[in-house]
Amino acid sequence: MKAVVICQKMGIAAFLYIRKMNTQVEIKRKNRKSIVLILIILTAMIIMAAVCMFVGSSDMTIGEALNALMLNGTDGHERIIWKIRIPRVLAAIIAGAGLSVSGLIMQTTLNNSMASPSTLGVSNAAVFGANLSIIAFAGGFLSTGNNLTSYTVGTNPYSTSLMAFLFSTASILLILSLCKIRAFSPNVVVLAGIAVGSVWTAATTILQYYATDVGLSAAVVWSFGDLGRASYKTVVIMLVVVAIGTIFFQTMSWRFNVLLSGEATARSMGVNVDMLRFFSMLIASVITAVCVSFLGVIGFVGIICPHITKKLLGHDHRFTVPMSAISGSMLLLMADTLSRSIGNGSALPVGAITSLLGAPFFIAVIFSRKENHP
């Protein structure tokens, strides 16, 4: 009888050991697959960046563009490549990565697949700040009237970006403070973001109502997402902010993975859920504020790319964070290339292209979700 019991225990132990080994093999296989997919998308993104650099309205051949890239071309060609196209490509890579990673983290921390960088009204606050700078202090009713010459003398793009960033940051801090007072739950964050965003939108509308023709036109043009206004200075600032934020999210990967199992599970494993949610939302919003303040409103990147990433790789943030960054860069490069290809000599606002791509995707996601009926 003892021999039978011993054999049974040995059999159970062997079964558990084999099951454990199979699980480890499956995890390793899945991890290798994720790494391969990331490398494939990274290669495609690099190729897309090269294509984007050689596409434009200047009628430059690929050979002339390569010569300009090597500083062996004409002054005009070198100026186009080094002063216009390279900053534009770098801005697309950095902003696309930042917006996409911010969307992924917001969806995780808020447990809402429809969350995006605009959830907290960051874009609304940035638009109001830029409108205030342009209309009230550069081309609006306080000084220049409808005199276009006076407007071009008085305007300062960096002051506009700074004002947009300051209002975005103020909006973030206001919403997060309200959530800390009430209760830092996902629903409260979303509702507070919608309410405060509506206030910024209303204030922008009132401001534009009293603007002059010149000020109104300039303010509306600023709100278009445009990579053409990028410079090396703005690229460096965005790179620093996006890089620091992405590294932070990558180091917090296991905490985000635990949070996906529920708040109770995360708390039982020692994760400070409220603190994690607060700092994640703050950093994601700051990344969005920096990108929007320099480039204007670029929508749907923070929704499309995280969904595609999770569809391909699952929900392991060790892999979805870098994959979201690469896919966001890829999407914005594609949108910018398309905007300059169909612009008939001028580049269409890249924000309009991403919205045209994102709206059908957004509708498809909504209708593909399975509803639980009683």
pLDDT digits (tens, 9 = 90+) for 309-343: 998 898 899 999 999 999 999 999 999 988 887 76
Q: What global pTM score does this model have?
A: 0.85
pLDDT value of position 21 = 52
CA proximity to 290, closest of 201, 161, 187: 161
Residue 90 has pLDDT above 70, yes or no: yes
Report the distance separating Cα 43 and Cα 55, nearest Å.
19
**Cα dihedral: 210, 211, 212, 216 (round 10):** -140
The answer regarding whether domain 48-53+61-109+119-363 maps to CATH 1.10.3470.10 reads yes
pLDDT band at 134 (very low <50, low <70, confident <90, very high): confident
Rounded Cα distance between 164 and 142, Å, is: 19
Per-residue confidence (pLDDT) for residue 35, from 0 to 100? 92
Q: Are 208 and 131 in contact (CB under 8 A)?
A: yes
Report pLDDT digits (tens) over 8-60: 545 454 444 455 555 676 778 888 899 999 999 999 999 999 998 888 767 77
Least confidently predicted of 50-59, 138-147, 205-214 = 138-147
Q: For the chain, what percent of residues have pLDDT higher than 70?
A: 84
Q: What is the mean pLDDT of the chain?
A: 82
The tally of CA atoms less than 13 A away on the side-chain side of residue 279 is: 12
Predicted local confidence at residue 140, as pLDDT: 45
* SS3 call for 71: coil
